[in-house]
Homo-oligomer: A and B are copies of this chain.
Amino acid sequence: MNPEKLKIAVLGGTGNIGEGMVLRLALQNLMAGGVKNEVIIGSRSPETAEEAAKEALRELENCGFDTSGTTITGNSNLEAAKAADIIILTIRFTHVEPLLKEIREALEGKIVVTPVVPMVKEGPLFEYRPPAEGSAAQAIKERVPESTKVVAAFHNIAAGKLKDIVQCKAVHDSVVCSDDEEAKKVVFELVRHMGCLKPLDGGPLKHANTIESLTPLLINLAKLNGMKDLGINFS
C-alpha cells in the first residue's frame, strides 16, 4: 500500500451513498493534507461503473473543480477490488454475502471498509436487524480472509449531504470501529478529509452494532420530526 497515493475501490459506487463517497474521495486530492488517491468505482456491470466514473468527473467539473489531477475509473466489482488497497462496501446488507464470495480472492491483506447497515422497514419506520454475528461489520469480518482488516465507518452520513460537495461543509461526527489500529488510522485520515465529517474512535469492531443502529434512528427521527438528511454530533 502506497501511503502517497491510495487506491480506493467503492463497490456499489453507482448507488446513492456510493456516488457521494466517490465525489468526496476524489476531492481529497485537491485538499491540503488530503489523502492523495485514485478512485475505482465497482459495479456488477463494468459499463455502468465506467459511465458512473465519467459522470462523477463531469459533476466535479460542473462544480468548478480542476480534475486534471483526479483519477476516477470504473470496472467490475472483482477487478475494482483487485486494483485497490482499500475496498469500501457501499452496498445493501443482503448483497454482502454474494459479493464477498465473488471478490474474496482480491481481499488478502487489504482494508475493507463497511458502512453497511442491516435494516428493514416496518410500517412507516425503519428497524435495525443485525445478523447473528452481532453486526454487519462482524458478519463481514467472518467472510473475508484472516489477513483482511475490517473497519466500520461512514454509516451515519446522509446521501444528500455527502453528494452536496459544494454546499455541505457541516461537520458531523463519524464513528470508526476496528480491531486493527493501523487500518483504523488510515480510515481516520480518509474520514477527516471528506469535507463534512470528523472521525471519532468507537473502539473494537464488536462495538459497530450501536453505530450501525444509528442509521435507522436518523431516518426515523427525520421522518417523525420533520427534519431532513440528519447527521449526528457528540459534544
| Chain A interface residues toward B at CB < 8 A | 125, 127-128, 170, 172, 175, 200-204, 207, 209-211, 213-214, 216-218, 220-221, 224-225, 227, 230-235
Contact = CB atoms under 8 A, between A and B. Distances in A.
A134 to B, nearest CB: 10
Count identical subunits in the complex.
2
Contact of A170 (B127, B230, B235): B235
Nearest to A230: B234
A221 B200 contact: yes
B235 A230 contact: yes
Q: Taking chain A's interface residues, is the majority helix, strand, or loop, or is none over half, making it mixed?
A: mixed
A204 B122 CA distance: 12
A217 B157 CA distance: 17
Given A207-B125, A210-B128, A210-B217, A202 B230 contact: no
B216 A210 contact: yes
A218 B234 contact: yes
A233 B218 CA distance: 11
Contacts of A170: 235
24 contacts: A125-B203, A125-B207, A127-B207, A175-B217, A175-B221, A200-B224, A200-B225, A201-B224, A202-B217, A202-B224, A203-B220, A203-B224, A209-B213, A210-B213, A210-B214, A213-B213, A214-B214, A218-B234, A227-B234, A231-B235, A232-B232, A232-B233, A233-B233, A233-B234
